[in-house]
Amino acid sequence: MRRVNVTHLALVAALVLVVLLAGGAVAGWYFGKVEDDRLRQMKPYPPDKQQQRAQDLVAALNSRDPRKLQLLRNTSAAPDAPDNLQLDRLIQAAFPLPDCHFALDSVRDRGEQGAMDISWVSSDTRTYRYDMLITENCPGRAPLHRVLAVIAVPYMGGYWTDASLLVEQ
């Protein structure tokens, strides 16, 4: 019968434990890094979501009430704070002419646009753009085709949220 060297056995056990701990630490770091990278990435802004948002925005523009447009506002400030008043002015510039209304024709995805200054959100934030191609219908006049750009910014959970409008035509 062979005798077991307790010191040798303890040394082997300690070595196995160190290897397992090191392997666990490396695996934890790797999977944590992968998860961090996924959290920093923006989720897509799919066409069906853009279409639905555009329909909601056009209906709100037709109401001529800036508060009905679900754009990112400075909710920590008073409703008449400069940031919110600036956004209201942008929205009002996009309203249809008096006695007219908009009809949504289509949406054109323009993708990420890089950094842009949207003062009530951030002075330099990533942006995403899609265009609403609309027809302005007025009594007694030929329909007028217009383009309203919607600028979205990163929001909670890596999703895009609409923040501003740009009137192109």
Domain ranges for the chain, please list them: 1-41, 44-167
Q: Is 146 exposed, middle or buried (0-12, 13-18, 19+ CB in 10 A)?
A: middle
Map tokens 């070595």 to a residue. 15
Please tell me the CATH code under which domain 44-167 is placed: 3.10.450
Q: Token digits for 59?
A: 């209906």
Tell me the average pLDDT of the chain: 84
CA–CA distance, 21 with 109 (Å, rounded to integer)? 48
Instruction: Provide the whole-model pTM.
Output: 0.72
Adjacent-strand bridge partners of 150: 130, 165
Band of residue 23 on the pLDDT scale cut at 50, 70, 90: confident
In this structure, which amino acid lies at residue 114? G
Percentage with pLDDT > 90 across the chain? 46
Band of residue 156 on the pLDDT scale cut at 50, 70, 90: confident
pLDDT score for 106: 97
